[in-house]
Structure 1
Amino acid sequence: MLDYIRSNAQSFGVKVAFAIIILVFMFWGVGSLTDGGSSNVVAKVNGEAITAQQFEQAYQRAAEYAMRNDPSLTREALVQQKLGRQVLNELISAQLIRQEAARVGMTVSPEEMHYVVSKLPAFQDAQGKFDPEAYKRNIEAQRMSVAEYEQGLADSILRDKVMRTVAGSAWAAGDEARKYYDFLTQQRTVEYLYLPAADFAASVKPTEEELNAWYEAHKAELASQPRVEVEYVAVAPEGLVRPESVSAEAALKWYEANKQRFRQPEQVKVAHILVPLAENAPEAAVKQAMEKAVRIRSEAEKGDFAAVANANNGPNAAGPGGELGWIQRGQTVKPFEDAAWALQPGQISEPVRSQFGLHIIKMEERKDASVQPFAEVEAEVRATLAKQEGVEKVNDVLDSLIGDNINNRPLQESAARAGSYKDADGKEQPLLKAERTGLVGQAELQKILGISDEMAASLMKAPANSPVDTALEAGDRYLVVRVLTSEPSTTPTLDQARDRVMKALVAEKSLQAAMEKATAIRKAMTDGTLPAEDSARVQSADLTRDGALAGFVPNPAMNQVIFRAAPQTWIDQAFSVYEQEDSSKCGALLCRVTAVEQPKSDGWAGMENLLTELVQRKRVEGMYQTFMRMLEQKAKIEVYNSRVLESAGI
């Protein structure tokens, strides 16, 4: 059931995350949106243009994001999945939101921008404080300027403000989450007749014409993938200078000049118990939640706060025992912060309301503001200085390696010139070394090197013994690369692939025969009962909504039909299913529901908070989507430049 819940819970979050990815890389200010003729425009929204450059950059960013999260994806697969249409839709939505926000006077202030940026972990130092250098460095690593990033971030904040305004009145009925729980946890007992495809294989005799037709239709699947072997040296600034090579004197001098970086603000260590409550919940719901919070606080005062927290907190409310760890001012919502800082160690607050619900807060410890002593941060200071020295050296090191690579000098010898260090055992280790990928395809090459799809595709096309005359970017490091071996894709002849083709075609036609037999059996059930010879093979198993029949691979489409079916009646269609132990084995399945087991209430308490949040989120999603449809219906949206759009599969 949790898998089913997660898939539903993530759907809106994934859409919003994807939308923000698009927005963050929609770089252009309002002035440029009205610029350019139709040859450089892919769409206009109420007369404001979305340029081909905007679309192509947003598409590339979205494709890279998708493939980083799923390395098995290819560019072709993304085209088939209509990624280009999703990107264009998001760009149009962004334009509509910007226009609507302008109409009602909604803006993003510099203070809001600063607050959001300062809270992103990627832009913080080791003490959790905003680090301007980290901010600049991380943005540049994404091949963006600060201005471009901030324009995109402003768009995403604006979108969030519009969404919260539109969905602010969303509210779910008190019993809606419980009904959803009942829906998810219902279990059904299923009787089924399974006809293995292997039982029909002996009667399948493919003709030469059928073999040839299958071969022609599946040539791409039969072809071997191109492969390359690459030798490379990975260079990262922090790897060029070892922290232990930085002297204690230099580290102390830097520490004294940068003490403000190690200033620790006042902190409190707290735990809490959260009683979820919608921000706009009706009075009756507020009263009920407050009564529950008062009862829980009383239990916590009399007993073990951690145990009471574990018994009452929902998923993601806090850590074990309600722990939130050390927090600083500005890291939590204001009502929570005010209540937490008013407590003394050991005290428990009265219920405090925020937009998340009612909090019962326990103050555990307090730390006054201080500066971390040098002894505590010496290792961090040395690492910082080593990285700074590495940054200063990296261009010279890369230039030397690239020059040697172009001149076909051994990369291992070139790498050795960067120097060495002694490991914990006192053995000399090189700062840089040349490594080889072995013969690999494009997906594996991309995964090993950590490079973009375009870079990997370029290397796959390079001939053997080809040095790359520039450094490749791979996240926070650079690669000096030489293609050693290149094997092109080859397609076997039918005679060469005959055994594979025969096996695949027999399996395909055997499953088809099994499905035809199962369909015939179902049609012959005039009184709803199986023939005697088939009844003897009927088996029974329990099935949950997101589960699988015992021994088979999950089949969501079949499950949907089963959970809609009336009990005691054989379902009037056959399903193709695959065996769990060996997915190459498959067959046809006929089934019927023989019993419906209603949900047990003992699991409700553990799922109540999660499902209440999920139902509320679905309501928010529904209201937001309705609002966007309304904007789309009122807008004049024109799409141009089919050449650019067709290249993205639109």
Structure 2
Amino acid sequence: MLQVFRKFFHSSVGVFAALGLIVMLAMAFAAGDVSNMMSSGSITGGDRVAKVGGNTIGTAQLTKQMQQAVEITRQQQPGVTMKSFLAEGGLDLVLDQMIDGEAQMAFGRKVGIVAGKRLIDSELAKIPAFQGAGGKFDQNAYLSVLAQRQMNDADVRDSFARDLVSRQLLAPAQFGAALPQSAVMQYAALLKEHRAGSAAMLPSSAFAPKGLPTQAEVSAWYNSHKAAYTVPERRVIRYARFDESVIKQSSVPSDAEVAARFKANAAQYGASETRKVSQVIVISESMAKDIAAAVAKGESLEAAAKAKGLSVASLGSVSKADLTIKSSAAVAEAAYAAKAGATAGPVKGALGWALVRVDAIDAKPARTLEQVKGEITAALTEEKRKQALAALTEKVNDDFGKGGALSDTAKELGLTMAETPLLVAKTPAGMGLPAELASILPAAFGMDHEGQPQISELVAGKSFVIFDVTKIIPAAPAPLDQISAQVMADIQLEKGSVAARAAAMKLLAAGKKGGDLAAEVAKLGVALPPVQQMNLGREEIMSRGGQIPPAVALFFGMAPGTTKLIPIAGNKGFMAVQLKAITPGAVAANDPLIGQVKGELNNLAAREQGESLRRAIRTEVKVERNESTIKTVTSTLAGGN
């Protein structure tokens, strides 16, 4: 599972997330870092969630790893909360992996399977974040990343040791897992089978009574189903947008300010030179001299280097200072002493003997104040504009914090306010609220009451909106007189659903006696959609991926000669599905499907063998879970007492 860890390291966020994952969370490994979280003791202790052999896992450690698990999950799914993570079984997953990690380490020690320093070193060297410019492990880079995460070498190595021991234990158990050829052929033939039958739809609307419900029925239904007709809370938002145009003071800098900026950045406007340089690095001085001699005789640097099995690298346009950093002071001196097109060297560099060619020289003369006045003026004007706008937004925010009214601020800034129609918290962008203001909707619905103005940034550093809520209508059932038509339609649908269920049960009973579905549907005497004939093969269904209708999935789980029912979502009726016959599939000995099936089944067998060993190790080491303490941790994490 180190692959997960390595994937994290390919992003800037991943460096830190994965480091946390190494030590604090077992999700990226076959086992978590619990060695420093263990202590001997009885399982009856209220602060212990599990006992693994002679060690225990404490509540504080489980809580910490759960928090880390949620943080890491949020990087892929930002909306994840601790409650939702718990609801999906996250605590059992994390705890199980902590237990497995400790159990496998204990079992490994017992049978003599360990991870030595050199093996751990090789794994650390594979992590891109720990590598230097040459792609090799860099101790300084490694220690720097650990320091940023406030971790130490021992913690990281211990976590890698756990993963390596786990792999050494579980991987061999999966080798050679294979099912008999007869089972492979049987499964492959199953994928080739075809099924014939039919399906009938019994929509509730077709069975609904013709007459309208009475007023008493409507009132009774409405009163018992008010929750279904509840209109969510609605709010009216008042807002006004503004940008830098509201700033009254001038942003144009004075001549003195321009002159001061010029003086402060004199180096930026002074003479400068960069050179486009290519170089070849040679291990020995003698070989470097051979290449230089070939170039002196008219060969290109590329050709001369290629003859020695080397290649020329372009360093691009670099200043003398940058070249000194990239190579060495001697190389930089040589390159900047040569003329355009000339090759200098060999010169001793940091990695060997260097030959450098000056491909081009870009020399820029010093610029006077008059020459750069426009450039500096534009930069200062932009800075002043940003500063003035930032000061203005800060003042507005302070005014609102002190109880200032939205209307007063709008008047002061000369803004025209607008109001939205009634909106709900999930109003789609552009439906009553301009799309560019969609970001203020959550804030508006988070206000405790009307008249709590806020300011929000629309375009970073450029435009803003001030807003508040002028009306709040709490969630409540819609008045009956406004939705009476909907209520009557729902009553009719419910009556139709009851009748449709009765008709469906008739079809089911007839199917058990061998009745043909189409003929039995005709006996119902109700105008229904035509019965659909179904003639499908498993290969066709598999080609659809996960997009398989429920009726089709049911069709392929039935026995021949049977009829089954499936409800239509939304109380809209039922579908009756009848399977008449199954035609077994025929598989040729050279069918490519056999190889595919064999690979899938063998992979499943391998995973099952590894899982069996994992369970066996738990049994051997002896694992006990303290369910009452686990329940307490779950309640605490979920926000309970």
TM-score, length basis structure 1: 0.51
The residue type equivalent to 2:576 in the other structure is L
Closer, same or farther in 2 for the Cα pair 1:368/1:596, shift >3 Å? farther
Does 2:82 correspond to 1:102?
A: no
Match of 1:630 in 2: 616
CA contact (8 A) 1:25 1:61 kept: no
SS of 2:478's partner is coil
Match of 1:643 in 2: 632
- State how 1:561-572 maps to structure 2 within 5 Å: 561-567=554-560, 569-571=561-563
Does 2:560 correspond to 1:574?
A: no
Does 2:32 correspond to 1:26?
A: yes
Closer, same or farther in 2 for the Cα pair 1:223/1:555, shift >3 Å? farther
SS of 1:182's partner is helix
Match of 1:240 in 2: none
Residue 527 of structure 1: how far off its partner (Å): 4.2
Match of 1:341 in 2: none
The residue type equivalent to 2:555 in the other structure is I
The residue type equivalent to 2:521 in the other structure is D
SS of 1:119's partner is coil
CA contact (8 A) 1:576 1:588 kept: yes
Determine the C-alpha separation between the residues in 2 that align with 1:501 and 1:115.
Answer: 69
Residue 121 of structure 1: how far off its partner (Å): 5.0
The residue type equivalent to 2:565 in the other structure is A
Determine the C-alpha separation between the residues in 1 that align with 2:45 and 2:318.
Answer: 59
Q: Pick from 500, 517, 539 the counterpart of residue 532 of structure 2.
A: 539
The residue type equivalent to 1:614 in the other structure is E
Q: Where in structure 1 are there 5+ consecutive unaligned residues?
A: 1-16, 232-244, 261-365, 387-399, 412-438, 445-456, 469-478, 579-583
Determine the C-alpha separation between the residues in 2 that align with 1:225 and 1:87.
Answer: 42
Q: Deviation per CA, 1:508-539: give whole Å up to 9, x if none.
A: 77556534431232224444234747258321
Determine the C-alpha separation between the residues in 2 that align with 1:133 and 1:84.
Answer: 36
Q: Deviation per CA, 1:601-623: give whole Å up to 9, x if none.
A: 47975445543332222112211
Determine the C-alpha separation between the residues in 1 that align with 2:592 and 2:222.
Answer: 56
Determine the C-alpha separation between the residues in 1 that align with 2:158 and 2:236.
Answer: 41
- State how 1:63-462 maps to structure 2 within 5 Å: 63-70=70-77, 75-120=82-127, 129-130=136-137, 147-200=154-207, 207-216=218-227, 373-375=313-315, 408=394
Residue 191 of structure 1: how far off its partner (Å): 0.9
Residue 192 of structure 1: how far off its partner (Å): 0.8
SS of 2:125's partner is helix
The residue type equivalent to 1:190 in the other structure is G
Does 2:46 correspond to 1:54?
A: no
Determine the C-alpha separation between the residues in 2 that align with 1:141 and 1:69.
Answer: 23
Determine the C-alpha separation between the residues in 2 that align with 1:648 and 1:143.
Answer: 25
Determine the C-alpha separation between the residues in 2 that align with 1:632 and 1:608.
Answer: 36
Match of 1:592 in 2: 578
Determine the C-alpha separation between the residues in 1 that align with 2:133 and 2:490.
Answer: 57
The residue type equivalent to 2:567 in the other structure is S
Closer, same or farther in 2 for the Cα pair 1:501/1:466, shift >3 Å? same
Determine the C-alpha separation between the residues in 2 that align with 1:173 and 1:66.
Answer: 40
Closer, same or farther in 2 for the Cα pair 1:73/1:566, shift >3 Å? same
CA contact (8 A) 1:191 1:538 kept: yes
Q: Deviation per CA, 1:322-363: give whole Å up to 9, x if none.
A: xxxxxxxxxxxxxxxxxxxxxxxxxxxxxxxxxxxxxxxxxx
The residue type equivalent to 1:520 in the other structure is K
CA contact (8 A) 1:460 1:486 kept: no
Sequence identity (%): 15
Match of 2:381 in 1: none
Residue 493 of structure 1: how far off its partner (Å): 0.4
Match of 1:342 in 2: none
Q: Deviation per CA, 1:194-240: give whole Å up to 9, x if none.
A: 12244345679675454444444897x9568999x9x9xxxxxxxxx
Match of 2:45 in 1: 38
Match of 1:431 in 2: none
- State how 1:472-487 maps to structure 2 within 5 Å: none
The residue type equivalent to 2:105 in the other structure is R
Residue 160 of structure 1: how far off its partner (Å): 1.8
CA contact (8 A) 2:70 2:81 kept: no
Residue 632 of structure 1: how far off its partner (Å): 3.5
The residue type equivalent to 1:26 in the other structure is G
Residue 483 of structure 1: how far off its partner (Å): 11
Determine the C-alpha separation between the residues in 1 that align with 2:521 and 2:133.
Answer: 69
Q: Deviation per CA, 1:366-392: give whole Å up to 9, x if none.
A: 99985761337989x99xx99xxxxxx
Closer, same or farther in 2 for the Cα pair 1:64/1:559, shift >3 Å? farther
Q: Pick from 501, 513, 528 the counterpart of residue 515 of structure 2.
A: 528
CA contact (8 A) 1:108 1:158 kept: yes
Residue 94 of structure 1: how far off its partner (Å): 2.0
Determine the C-alpha separation between the residues in 2 that align with 1:505 and 1:132.
Answer: 74
Closer, same or farther in 2 for the Cα pair 1:66/1:613, shift >3 Å? farther
SS of 1:621's partner is helix
Match of 1:390 in 2: none
Determine the C-alpha separation between the residues in 2 that align with 1:145 and 1:92.
Answer: 23
Determine the C-alpha separation between the residues in 1 that align with 2:309 and 2:568.
Answer: 64
SS of 1:528's partner is coil
Determine the C-alpha separation between the residues in 2 that align with 1:131 and 1:521.
Answer: 74
Determine the C-alpha separation between the residues in 2 that align with 1:367 and 1:647.
Answer: 71
Determine the C-alpha separation between the residues in 2 that align with 1:505 and 1:137.
Answer: 69
Determine the C-alpha separation between the residues in 2 that align with 1:501 and 1:123.
Answer: 65
Match of 1:514 in 2: 500
Larger radius of gyration: 2
Determine the C-alpha separation between the residues in 2 that align with 1:226 and 1:134.
Answer: 55
Match of 2:604 in 1: 618
Closer, same or farther in 2 for the Cα pair 1:158/1:496, shift >3 Å? farther
SS of 2:477's partner is coil
Determine the C-alpha separation between the residues in 2 that align with 1:199 and 1:79.
Answer: 44
The residue type equivalent to 1:620 in the other structure is A
CA contact (8 A) 1:189 1:593 kept: yes
Closer, same or farther in 2 for the Cα pair 1:521/1:176, shift >3 Å? closer
SS of 1:151's partner is helix
Closer, same or farther in 2 for the Cα pair 1:122/1:248, shift >3 Å? farther
Q: Where in structure 2 are there 5+ consecutive unaligned residues?
A: 1-21, 242-268, 284-305, 327-385, 398-423, 430-441, 523-528
Determine the C-alpha separation between the residues in 2 that align with 1:51 and 1:483.
Answer: 50
SS of 1:42's partner is strand
- The Cα RMSD (Å) is 6.1
CA contact (8 A) 1:194 1:590 kept: yes
SS of 1:179's partner is helix
SS of 1:566's partner is coil
TM-score, length basis structure 2: 0.52
